[in-house]
Structure 1
């Protein structure tokens, strides 16, 4: 019985081994070299990963073929190198499985023109080397690297993005040709279609600041641009777009205009906030004094931000009562915090007028009290001009001395011949105009007007002597008392009974002393007319008058008698 039982056990074991052997070989027959199968990790040591490929057999894979060490029970895809390995062990590879799988993925992507992930790894002649994963490398021509011209090729190195495979090659490296541009253009087209079909005016959109121009900034909305105009950056005054947004910055903006036909998009940063002008009258009134920073200086004034988004203008004329401000930069700097008074505003035009000088007393309001007409002063010359000189009266207030107000009699042709900047001069106030901020001064009125004296002391036909100062074709100039220069017309250089000819002028030389009759004295025009002819005629009249009343004879001799006597002598 024992022998029979032992024999049955041996028979049973033999049959089981035979069946197992049959299953193993049968399953091994189903395995084909060069195929992909899914296995299960059953053990990991310091050198190998053991994988059950599901055919009653296991293979081992070097640990370095795994990017991440797998865990027991994890499913992995492997490549069957050969089912008849050494010692009857199946040979498998994880790396070759990845390569084969990658090959099929890339081949299918090339056929479907679907995007694949790649990375710019190196600049080479004519373009870039692209890492497509696994052992695959592709070539991307420079013209297909971006939708716009690449200014700095090195700037793309390290960038991961999607590519379209134009030409796939499973063998030699860099024979596959890829295009990032095609992928970007497709994505931009999709982004545009989505954008223009889904957004509406007033929506908030997100974008990246791409570039700047003098009139604003371009915002990348997903491969296409929207314009953020300089006027839409702030409710206040904007000088430099770069002061409000930075290149590469991701910002939210409000859509204020969209045109699907031209695909123009206008964006606004200021409309992300309430218009501060809408509540202006709640916060400010004319006459209010504000303390605020200077934000911009121009040739015509200073912009001052009285509240976020609200800037007022202090015109150059409103900066000082007295200083001659030629440029606001002479008295203010950007960033200065100043006090200003609100002079007026226009909400429709969003303008506020400010004044700095209104916070100080206007010195012109009391100018008449300090400089009454007739007051004599000694002050410095601060500026010389062609027509006169500005005389410094006090800080910021000058009086003007016209060149004609220097002398009653002398014609000053060059102001610098009278005085130079810094010279102290004596002047008298002759006119004050507070409304025009003008004060007129005079030097000549420090003395009496010699023309008035001359007119009073020398009536018409009275004789006067003077020195010849100039001989001209039209007459002789003579300087008389008080330095006044008069003119003897050439026809008045000879007696009433003589005829004038040009040789008469030779009888007069500069420096000669001559006597003539006063014909006209005009202080307002400062003209003096003299005549030798009238002087002689007056002398003749004086001689005639002796015969008109002869006391010795007791008879009366008239001017008519003299003429008859002369006629008789002529006959």
Structure 2
């Protein structure tokens, strides 16, 4: 459309030139990078009273904004995309944020609470200028011209939009369902499946209610606005690290503290702080153990001795009785041959009865030594729990065996009472005498001579 007279005709070209002229005049001849640096310095001076080292205006604080195609590529991976992980150096700490030099004229910012602090004396020391860390790209702040970063492996506290698979987060358990735990990560809802709550099965998950758990983000569904977490992966990584340390420390004969994890008929598994060792039932006590649950129970904290190591098969054998006084140490002094002793029948078998003389010390009364008369089986005369008196016939400390005779005591008692005479007091064997084989009159070889 044309206009008459001296009126200027507005075309797209003339409007663009006018706008460009207006922008240049407003910027006062400064570049966009200079304006960003000046803005960042001004904000920091206002918050810290101007007492700080200014950013170099000659060095733009660009974040190296990636293309739209790669911007969120790490959200769908189980681990951060290597292209989004970069090493950076701390150049400044202010207002709860850490300014990071990523190299290549790129700078980013990361929350200070993602860095660990260490107590040294009365001082609490943490991140310092000059230290280097690995960071994960989380986004780009166009207004500030900075890359938003997260320290690799650090607990994230941001909104769910900034979370991605592989991030470590702190979740608060708000509810328990048959399928797992309902949680909150900041203001966002999340869920931990029952199989991902722990490395061990928990029948009742209510113990986790209201607890704060460190987890790894396993999946982020932005369409459904849901977050899936795994605590199991965190614990497994911690256990693997602890196990490596313990395997380097273990040695045979070492005494360690452990927690009983489970009790079986053959023994108990003891957690030594990252690896499990087997406390076999035979290594629980010097006494015979019929039920391991009478010695230890799940959850007990006990002292055990390492008796065997197999690092190739990852097996550790433990013992409780090695830490106890050996009751057989003074057996030869306490039980002399010919001495009369009293004990309790612990069990009977076809060939005799085992009698406990002291805790951890048992002797065997053979079936032939139970009574003067012939008996068919030991249980016809004695039963478990009976108190009996016997004579010591022999002691073998190496094999830890003591031979006893009840019939010898019975014979002495009957001789003393006059029931039998000395010549009649020979003990009767419980086993029937083996009849002699008949002698054959048939010659083995043919006779020489004769008819």
Q: What TM-score does the superposition give when structure 2 sets the normalisation length?
A: 0.52
Partner of 1:147: 199
Q: 1:267 to 1:287 in 2, by over 3 A?
A: same
Is residue 211–residue 218 contact of structure 1 (8 Å, CA) maintained in 2? yes
Q: Deviations over 1:295-342 (max 9, x none)?
A: 3343433333323322222233333223735243762223x4433322
Instruction: Give the aligned partner of residue 128 of structure 1.
Output: 181
Map 1:8-19 to 2 at 5 A.
none
Structure 1 residue 208: Cα displacement:
2.0
Tell me, in whole angstroms, the C-alpha distance in 1 between the residues paired with 2:170 and 2:266: 39
User: Secondary structure of the residue that 1:242 maps to in structure 2?
Assistant: helix
Asked if structure 2 preserves the Cα contact closer than 8 Å seen for 1:236 and 1:305, the reply is no
Whether 2:410 is the aligned partner of 1:360: answer yes
Which ranges in structure 1 are unaligned for 5 or more consecutive residues? Answer: 1-25, 39-100, 373-431, 440-571
Partners of 1:114 and 1:178 lie apart in 2 by: 9
Greater relative contact order structure (CA < 8 Å, 6+ sep): 2
Judge conservation of contact 1:254–1:271 (CA < 8 Å) in 2: yes
Tell me, yes or no, if structure 1 residue 340 matches structure 2 residue 390: yes
Contact 1:319 1:357 in 2 (8 A): yes
- CA deviation vs aligned residue, 1:26-56 (integer Å, no higher than 9, x gap): 99xx79xxxx989xxxxxxxxxxxxxxxxxx
1:321 aligned to which of 366, 372, 386: 372
Q: Are the equivalent residues in 2 in contact too, given 1:293–1:305 (CA < 8 A)?
A: yes
Q: Distance in 2 between matches of 1:355 and 1:171?
A: 83
Q: 233, 237, 243: which one pairs with 2:284?
A: 233
Closer, same or farther: CA 268–436 of 1 in aligned 2, 3 Å? closer
Once the two structures are superposed, what CA deviation does each residue of 1:367-392 show, in whole Å capped at 9, x if it has no partner? 997999xxxxxxxxxxxxxxxxxxxx
Name the CA distance, whole Å, in 2 between partners of 1:117 and 1:200: 39
Matched, 1:138 2:190: yes
**Offset at residue 179 of structure 1 (A):** 0.8
1:209–1:250 Cα contact (<8 Å) kept? yes
What corresponds to 1:396 in structure 2? none
Is the 1:162–1:183 Cα contact (8 Å) retained in structure 2? no
Note the 1:49-448 alignment, pairs <5 A.
Answer: 103-104=157-158, 113-114=167-168, 116=170, 118-119=172-173, 121-124=175-178, 126-130=179-183, 135-150=187-202, 152-154=203-205, 157-158=208-209, 160=211, 162-167=213-218, 175-322=226-373, 324=375, 326-328=377-379, 331-334=382-385, 336-361=386-411, 436=429
TM superposition shift of 1:188: 1.6
Q: How large is the Cα RMSD of the aligned pairs?
A: 4.4
Gaps of 5+ in 2: 1-41, 48-93, 97-154, 433-451
Task: Quote how far apart the aligned CAs of 1:436 are.
Answer: 4.9
Structure 1: distance between partners of 2:159 and 2:235: 21
> In 2, Cα distance between the equivalents of 1:309 and 1:217?
20
Pair member with larger Rg: 1
1:392-541 residue pairs with structure 2 within 5 A? Answer: 436=429
8 A contact 2:157–2:170 mirrored in 1: no
Give the drift of 1:106: 8.6
Structure 2 counterparts to residues 2-41 of structure 1, below 5 A: none
Instruction: State the SS of the aligned residue for 1:341.
Output: strand
Q: Is the 8 A contact 1:200 1:255 kept in 2?
A: yes
| 2: CA distance, partners of 1:347 / 1:239 | 23
Structure number with the higher helix fraction is: 1
- Measured in 2, the distance between the counterparts of 1:329 and 1:203 equals 48
CA pair 172-206 structure 1, distance change in 2 beyond 3 A: farther
Deviation of the 1:121 alpha carbon: 3.4
Measured in 1, the distance between the counterparts of 2:431 and 2:403 equals 25
1:277 aligns to what SS in structure 2? coil
